């Protein structure tokens, strides 16, 4: 075991995945060749569950639209979802790793992983791992209620009632600061989230091409894509 | 003669099954557990009681140096019977796993999960060449999601969950007593009393208060605490009066 994170006494490292290992070295590729989701992603908590909204654009260096139909929110837990923000490769790998961790946790312990535990684990991986250039939102529902966390590239994990990450965050926050209320219903939160994505899509070059909306409740995760905003606003 | 020497070999290597499918080294490890003084665990609705007999071999020995009950984490205690040094290795593993859970998930480890990680480790020592199995049985007690839980680990690496259990010397007598006397709805003081009475059962005279080590993990504060000598003395005195009345 040459891994510097390994503790040498058989104890598993809390900073690396159970399966697979963390590649050494920094992220390869420059701005012009790595697909990035410039992106606007939003998470809002309500009493009924969590709403996550993302735009649909992938770009190269923020100057060329490399894909117009990207689903940037993925289910990673029976009642939890994560957004892809930053390097597409890093985010996809991050999602695969967390999914397997969630499944292992649940099959070993016969109970679903608490969302706070998942957020802590995601923060540990982001901090120690190869998933450097990412800035996702984790949203989920468990026994404690609805949760939204932003996870930054250095492993910072912050819980909030609503949060935004990505290049269009300032535009989306502008709308949310006016429209968010403590007692939003799930349906109203979906509409507010879609309008915030629309604001960002109109003015941020890294965001565009429509909106994906995920509804996370104690029943599960439902993700729908919409190229037109009219249907969801 | 050759047949005999072959037969003897089955109990030497830990990784070798006998023709009838037994692992003799694991069975010998269970014998080592029986040579140790007993420990008892009792689960009540208010929490878990762990009690251990810590007889000393000489009045010159410092009693506090004989440790049979250990804190693994705030909400989990471990009592042992058998080889104390083997127990210490497993308890240190339990402490590391409990802290590892905090680092990895930011939460307290469940009693069942902790027990499983101990028994997984014990099992490795029944399947690894050149290794010796752990000559110790543990009682792992604690509070998980507000519920009291009590588990036993065995030298084979099997775990069992109990309402009340004994490990170590005179286990059968003590377990028999627990089966007779255990009630599900007793409070924590009655649990302590039951645990000490059970430890006393094989003895002619009742055990002195300073010869038992008792700890509780209650659902109220979810934290491990040892029962002080003063409280033990009053409980032991009470048991003595009850016995005289009978």
CATH code at B137?
3.60.20.10
Predicted local confidence at residue A20, as pLDDT:
75
Query: Quick check: is B16 in a domain?
Result: no
What mean pLDDT is predicted for residues A206-225?
A: 96
Residue B221, in any domain of the structure: yes
Say if residue A36 is exposed, middle or buried (CB neighbours under 10 Å; 0-12, 13-18, 19+): buried
Interchain pair A120, B100: CB under 8 A: no
* Number of compact structural domains in chain B: 1
A14 touching B (Cβ < 8 Å): yes
- How many folded domains does chain A comprise? 1
pLDDT at position B40 over 80: yes
Match 């535990």 to its residue by tokens: A117
Substitution target from A12, A107, A119 for chain B, most B beta carbons within 10 A: A12
Domain membership of residue A100 (yes or no) is yes
User: When comparing pLDDT for A49 and A60, which is higher?
Assistant: A49
Rounded distance between C-alpha atoms, residue A130 and residue A26, angstroms = 7
Q: Which of B96, B106, B113 sits opposite A120 (nearest CB)?
A: B106
Q: Tally the residues of chain B.
A: 246
What is the torsional sign of CA A158, A162, A168, A170?
Answer: negative
Query: What are the E-state strand segments in chain A?
Result: 35-37, 41-45, 50-55, 58-60, 64-67, 73-77, 80-83, 86-87, 137-142, 145-151, 157-160, 162-165, 211-217, 220-226
Q: Which of A11-20, A22-31, B100-109, B236-245 has the lowest mean pLDDT?
A: A22-31
Between CA B183 and CA B153 the distance in angstroms is 23
Q: Which of B100, B92, B45 is nearest to B216 (CA)?
A: B45
Domain annotation covers residue B112:
yes
Q: What percent of chain B has pLDDT over 90?
A: 70
Q: Can you tell me the mean pLDDT for A160-187? A: 96
- Whether residue B12 lies within 8 A of chain A, CB to CB, comes out as no
Count of CB atoms situated within 10 Å of the CB of B126:
19
User: What band does A12 get if pLDDT is binned at 50, 70 and 90?
Assistant: confident
Q: Residue A7 — very low, low, confident or very high, per pLDDT cuts 50/70/90?
A: low
Q: What are phi and psi of A160, to 5 degrees?
A: -155, 170
Is residue A3 predicted with pLDDT exceeding 50? no
Distance CA A229, CA B160 (A): 57
Per the structure, the complete domain to which residue B107 belongs is given by: 31-58+67-245
Query: Could you read off the pLDDT of B106-161 as tens digits, one per residue?
Result: 999 999 999 999 999 999 999 988 889 999 999 999 999 999 999 999 999 999 99
Coil/strand/helix, residue B3: helix
- Confidence label for A25 from pLDDT (cuts 50, 70 and 90): low
Residue A56, Cα to own-chain centre: how many angstroms? Answer: 14
- CB of A9 closer than 8 Å to CB of A131: no
In the three-class reduction of DSSP (H, G, I as helix; E, B as strand; rest coil), residue A223 is classed as strand
Name chain A contacts of B96, Cβ cutoff 8 Å. 9, 11
In a domain, A17, yes or no: no
> What integer pLDDT is reported at residue A6 of this predicted model?
47
Residue B152 vs residue B205, higher pLDDT:
B152
The chain-wide mean pLDDT, for chain B, equals 90
Q: Would you say residue A20 lies in a domain? A: no
> How far apart, in whole angstroms, are the C-alpha atoms of residue B233 and residue B212?
10
CATH number at A148 reads 3.60.20.10
B106 at interface of A, judged by CB pairs closer than 8 A: yes
Residues of A that are catalytic: 39
Task: Identify the band that residue B54 occupies on the pLDDT scale cut at 50, 70 and 90.
Answer: confident
- Domain of residue A180 covers 35-232
Q: How far apart are CA A226 and CA B194, in angstroms?
A: 66
Closest in B105, B112, B116 to A120, CB measured? B105
Q: What angle do CA A93, A95, A98 make, to 5 degrees?
A: 110
Q: Which uninterrupted H or E stretch holds A231?
A: none
Residue A221 has pLDDT above 60, yes or no: yes
The answer to whether position A28 is within a domain reads no
Task: Assess if residue A55 is contained within a domain.
Answer: yes
The yes-or-no verdict on residue B1 having pLDDT over 50 is no
Q: What is the pTM of this model?
A: 0.85
Of B100, B107, B112, the CB nearest to A117: B107
Question: How far away is chain A from the Cα of B97, in angstroms, using its nearest Cα?
Answer: 7
**How far is A43 from A159, CA to CA, in rounded Å?**
11
For testing contact with chain B, the best of A6, A12, A14, A126 (most B CBs within 10 A): A14
Residue A25 lies in a domain: no
User: Of B97, B106, B121, which is closest to A117 when you measure between CB atoms?
Assistant: B106
Where does the pLDDT of residue B235 fall: very low under 50, low under 70, confident under 90, or very high at 90 and above?
confident
User: Which pLDDT score is estimated for A213?
Assistant: 97
Contact B112 A124 (CB under 8 A): no
Residue A218 lies in a domain: yes
The per-residue pLDDT for B139 is 98
């Amino acid at each position: 075991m040459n891994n510097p994170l390994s503790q040498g006494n058989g104890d598993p490292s809390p900073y690396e995945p159970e399966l697979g290992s963390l590649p050494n070295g920094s992220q390869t590729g420059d701005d012009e060749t790595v697909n990035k989701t410039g992106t606007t992603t939003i998470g809002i908590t309500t009493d009924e569950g969590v709403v996550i909204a993302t735009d649909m654009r992938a770009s190269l260096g923020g100057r060329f639209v490399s894909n117009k139909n990207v689903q940037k929110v993925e289910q990673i837990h029976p009642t939890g979802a994560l957004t892809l923000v930053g390097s597409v490769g890093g985010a996809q790998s991050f999602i695969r790793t967390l999914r397997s961790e969630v499944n292992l946790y649940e099959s070993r312990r016969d109970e679903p992983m608490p969302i706070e535990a998942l957020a802590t684990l995601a923060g540990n991986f982001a901090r120690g791992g190869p998933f450097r250039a990412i800035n996702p939102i984790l949203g989920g529902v468990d026994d404690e209620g609805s949760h939204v966390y932003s996870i930054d590239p250095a492993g910072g994990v912050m819980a909030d009632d609503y949060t935004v990450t990505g290049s269009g965050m300032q535009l989306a926050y502008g709308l949310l600061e006016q429209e968010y209320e403590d007692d939003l219903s799930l349906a109203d939160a979906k509409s507010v989230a879609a309008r915030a994505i629309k604001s960002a899509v109109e003015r941020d070059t890294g965001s565009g091409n429509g909106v994906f909306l995920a509804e996370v409740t104690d029943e599960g995760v439902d993700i729908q894509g919409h190229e037109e905003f009219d249907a969801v606003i | 003669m050759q047949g005999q020497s072959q037969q003897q070999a089955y109990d030497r290597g830990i990784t070798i099954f006998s023709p009838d499918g037994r692992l003799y080294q694991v069975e010998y490890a269970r014998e080592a557990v029986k040579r140790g003084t007993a420990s008892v665990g009792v689960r009540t609705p208010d929490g878990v009681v762990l009690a251990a007999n810590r007889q000393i071999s000489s009045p010159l020995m410092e009693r506090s140096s004989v440790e049979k009950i250990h804190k693994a984490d705030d909400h989990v205690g471990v009592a042992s019977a058998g080889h104390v040094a083997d127990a210490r290795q497993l308890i240190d593993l339990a402490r590391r796993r409990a802290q590892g859970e905090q680092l990895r998930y930011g939460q307290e480890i469940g009693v069942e999960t902790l027990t499983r990680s101990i028994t997984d480790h014990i099992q490795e020592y029944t399947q690894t060449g050149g290794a010796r199995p752990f000559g110790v049985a543990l009682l792992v007690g604690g509070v998980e999601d507000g519920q009291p839980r009590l588990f036993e680990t065995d030298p084979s690496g099997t775990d069992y969950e109990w309402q009340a259990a004994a490990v170590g010397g005179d286990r059968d007598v003590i377990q028999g007593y627990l089966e007779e006397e255990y009630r599900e709805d007793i409070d924590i003081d009655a649990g302590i009393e039951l645990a000490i009475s059970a430890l006393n059962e094989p003895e002619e005279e009742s055990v002195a208060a300073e010869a038992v080590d008792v700890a509780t993990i209650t659902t109220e504060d979810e934290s491990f605490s040892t029962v002080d000598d003063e409280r033990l003395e009053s409980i032991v005195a009470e048991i003595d009066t009850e016995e005289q009345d009978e």
